[in-house]
Amino acid sequence: MLIPADPSTLDYAMARVADHFMFGIYFDLSRYLIAAGALTALLLIFRGFAETRRIQQGRRASRADYTRELLSSMRTVVVYAFVTLAILVGRETGVILMKLQQASLWTIAWQFVLIVLAHDAWFYWAHRAMHSKRLFRATHLHHHKSRTPTPWTAYSFTMTEAVIEVAFVPLFLLITSQLGIAYAGFAILYFIWHQMIRNVMAHAGSELFPAGWVDNPWTDWIATTTHHDLHHSSGHNFGFYFTWWDRWMGTEHPRYREAFRAVTTRQREPEPALEPAE
């Protein structure tokens, strides 16, 4: 879309809104399709590994599951596009402080860590709230129709849950802006891609993390695919990136580590021997 030159006109303002909204659609749809599509392709290419590491051995997603996930994900993309629009308009009006120019690696690093830690806390408590009797059916039941998650489950939300999930970003930026912190554009970009990649990994259906992960104190605080898969099948494990909140609040599945070890040490079935030609 060509934006009118005069920034004082209504046409200019409407063109900016339209451009921001379409950018949100393009960005959120592309990162969903790229991340979920790439992981799906890898699971098909390395089918032997994926089958050996399959977490739920007796159950698989159906064609209806994939269809539901894809359709509801398109709705989520539209919701996220409106939030992207709000953030960009907020930046242009000075309500949100966000610098798009180059920032130092140190600035990008500490801002990335801060937003990931804050998002993990938001996700845990919002997730637990959506599992309450009052909210579950209206907010989170649709996501749990995917009893056997796939990478395409990542965006499979009701509109209400999509709003709850994405509300973190503008609220976080509003708070940090009030504190005088101008967030670097690259820090936000890296966070958004990190969130998407971790999201599809959590819903992979096959364990992607190496054996021994949960028994190493340097890595056991990072949530694995099994960690979130158990949430879909049992209702425990409300955390996203890390296992801290579940441990502190006593909501971690009591057999999480046992389940992870069982999946990652499972031996691949040997190929059947060919009968000798007569």
* Residue at 214 is within a domain: no
The residue range of the domain holding 86 is: 10-207
- Whether the predicted pLDDT of 8 surpasses 90: no
User: Residues with Cβ < 8 Å from 196, sequence gap 6 or more?
Assistant: 31, 32, 35, 154
Largest CA distance in the chain: 87
Helices 10-45 and 63-92, axial angle in degrees (round to 10)? 140
User: Residues with Cβ < 8 Å from 26, sequence gap 6 or more?
Assistant: none
Bridge partners, residue 242, by sequence: 222
pLDDT tens, position by position, 177-203: 999 999 999 999 999 999 999 999 999
DSSP structure class, residue 58: T
Total length of the chain: 278
With CA atoms as reference, report the closest residue to 205 among 147, 158, 255.
Answer: 147
pLDDT, mean of residues 229-252: 94
* Residue at 270 is within a domain: no
* Residue at 253 is within a domain: no
**pLDDT reported for residue 273:** 45
* Residue at 21 is within a domain: yes
pLDDT tens, position by position, 78-123: 999 999 999 988 888 889 999 887 889 999 999 999 999 999 999 9
* Residue at 24 is within a domain: yes
pLDDT category at 274 given cuts 50, 70, 90 is very low
With CA atoms as reference, report the closest residue to 90 among 193, 194, 175.
Answer: 175
pLDDT tens, position by position, 59-74: 889 999 999 999 999 9
CB-side neighbour CA atoms (13 Å) of 195: 23
Q: How many domains does the chain have?
A: 1
* Residue at 188 is within a domain: yes
* Residue at 274 is within a domain: no
* Residue 170 one-letter amino acid: P
Residue 59 phi/psi, 5-degree rounding, is -145, 145
* Residue at 58 is within a domain: yes
**125: alpha, beta or left, given left = phi > 0 and alpha = psi -120 to 50?**
alpha
